[in-house]
Chains A and B, each alone.
Chain A
């Protein structure tokens, strides 16, 4: 696609192996998904070497699209800069429609028809997650395959009306086994979580017979949960948020998780405590919080 005064808009894909459309992987769909793009670049790098060694299974092919939205990343905007629309709210796209509908349509026609699909996703609530595999409950979700990533958690959730325009919803509808992989971070590269995520994707590819790869690394036996079962802890006051635990921390009942501090006099307005033993699945990370903001999601055990 041409642009009014910038370079042409290009979406690049990398193909490995030949034969059936087996696995498609998509990285950054928004301009701040740097961790997602980084992970894809590492996958392309490693798969290039693996293919040279003959490590892609006979008759299987892999497509990787590291970025659907280089234009937004280049100008440091999360969404399509001209109209602030989100490509991941435009699926399955429409080739006669608006610009981002057309991009979604072109991307979806490249991604459609694969047996498995992985999107390296980010969440709109600001915070840190335990890396996990996430699926919409559409009746097509494949929890057993999701476990093969060997990530700590596999979660499922009930789609809301606006979720019907997500890539993964449409992938599932067109019978691709779709997984959103949340690699913990979005707008900065974290070598630990990105490394774990890359290993998890290689593990999944090996265990489903897409590649032959010797070293799988240490895997987790995934805990599978419905997100509705996570305990939500909210801010009773607004103020400065001072966190005492991280995503992944094991917390005991009564343990302090964070303080909310009066931004003027430093007094503790709220000492946020765990009400049950569990694992911190999500932890808010902005230094100031709104009243009622979601601070933690706890997997209670």
Chain B
């Protein structure tokens, strides 16, 4: 059943709408599982995940016991205009939660989204990095919520779980706002902006069904054994930022182990035909983020490595 959770007027003969698909079967008082995506308009992996989930669960509805709610586009104007933020507001939507019922259209929308999702038994917020970085399928959890949420994250079949430090700016994210109200929300990051990686999306769909199964909401077992993720806790991520501006070239894909001193890539100068800087791993570890967009400025992030060396 389609439901509209936000509807406001746009200036010229158009209604701004945020919609969800509510798929319900079995117990009326069963658990509620929400899959949300599209907060950042340039991240598209969630579109395929929502499609696959809605398709599979509708076709095999008798396996569902509870309610699955799918929100494919929390920032529909952003998706439609290939913009990360909210058009006309110059704002990153994931910096305005929990919103404000008296605020601007963007803040009211954020408030309505939180009010609608609040109280769910599980929320998966799907992101796909951005145009610049490619990410291994991973779950990100704020350190404050790790005890509570890591056990859920381990059942999603992703490669990696990153328990990261708390930052004040992140208090305004959808996930933090939900977690603060006691609604568990897992943030999934995978792939790269503006593209869809089918394999990763199908894996996440399997992972979501598996998590639903372990919660007693989905009465089918996964076809294959799901991988156990590497869990990274306690500040063990090394960031590699560009030492110089130029063009970053790499042969590597993320999701691999790298050793100390191994070359990750090079920053080159196309005018003079020179290598400006060689980027190498300072540690033995697991490469879970790699730069996808080749033009870099001094400071641009090129890679993130989970340091697996003995402390």
Q: Which residues of A contact B (CB under 8 A)?
A: 1-5, 78-79, 82-84, 89, 96-102, 124-125, 160-162, 164-165, 232, 237-240, 263-264, 288-294
Contacts and interface: CB of A to CB of B under 8 A. Distances in A.
A239 B8 CA distance: 12
Nearest to B244: A2
Contacts of B168: 161, 164-165
By size class, the interface of chain B is 35 or more
Contact of B246 (A4, A79, A165, A293): A4
A292 B169 contact: no
15 contacts: A3-B245, A4-B246, A4-B296, A79-B90, A96-B239, A97-B241, A98-B301, A164-B168, A237-B9, A240-B11, A263-B12, A290-B9, A290-B11, A290-B88, A292-B104
Contacts of A2: 244-246, 298
B135 to A, nearest CB: 16
B138 to A, nearest CB: 20
B299 interface: yes
Nearest to B267: A4
A101 B241 CA distance: 11
A154 B2 CA distance: 49
A82 B241 contact: no
A3 B8 contact: no
B97 to A, nearest CB: 9
B153 to A, nearest CB: 24
Contact of A161 (B90, B172, B271, B299): B172
B108 interface: yes
Contact of B10 (A79, A83, A238, A294): A238
Contact of A3 (B85, B239, B297): B297
A294 B104 CA distance: 6
Contact of A263 (B11, B171, B172, B295): B11
B132 interface: yes
A239 B9 CA distance: 8
A160 B9 contact: no
B295 A99 contact: no
Interface string B1-39: 000000011111100100000000000000000000000
Contact of B105 (A3, A164, A165, A291): A291
A1 to B, nearest CB: 5
Contacts of B12: 238, 263, 288
A263 B297 contact: no
Contacts of A89: 169
Given A96-B241, A164-B168, A292-B104, A264 B297 contact: no
B42 to A, nearest CB: 10
Contacts of B104: 125, 292-294
Contacts of B239: 96-97
A1 B171 contact: no
Nearest to B7: A291
A84 B92 CA distance: 10
Contacts of B10: 238, 290-291
Contacts of B246: 2, 4
A99 B8 contact: no
Q: Is the interface of A mostly helix, strand, loop or mixed?
A: loop
B48 interface: no
Nearest to B10: A238
A82 B297 contact: yes
Contacts of B96: 162
Interface in B84-120: 84-85, 88-91, 95-96, 102, 104-105, 108
A46 to B, nearest CB: 32
Given A83-B132, A290-B8, A124 B91 contact: yes
Nearest to A105: B299
B231 interface: no
Contacts of B301: 98
B226 interface: no
Contact of A238 (B8, B102, B295): B8
A290 B108 CA distance: 12
Nearest to B100: A160
A98 B299 contact: yes
B132 A165 contact: no
B309 to A, nearest CB: 20
Given A4-B296, A96-B241, A98-B300, A161 B11 contact: no
B194 to A, nearest CB: 14
A84 B169 contact: no
Contacts of B102: 232
A133 B90 CA distance: 23
Nearest to B171: A161
Interface centre among B132, B241, B244 (most CB of A within 10 A): B241
Contacts of B54: none
Interface string B276-301: 00000000000000000001111111
A102 B242 CA distance: 11
Contacts of A238: 8-12
A268 to B, nearest CB: 15
A5 to B, nearest CB: 8
Contact of B169 (A4, A96, A162, A264): A162
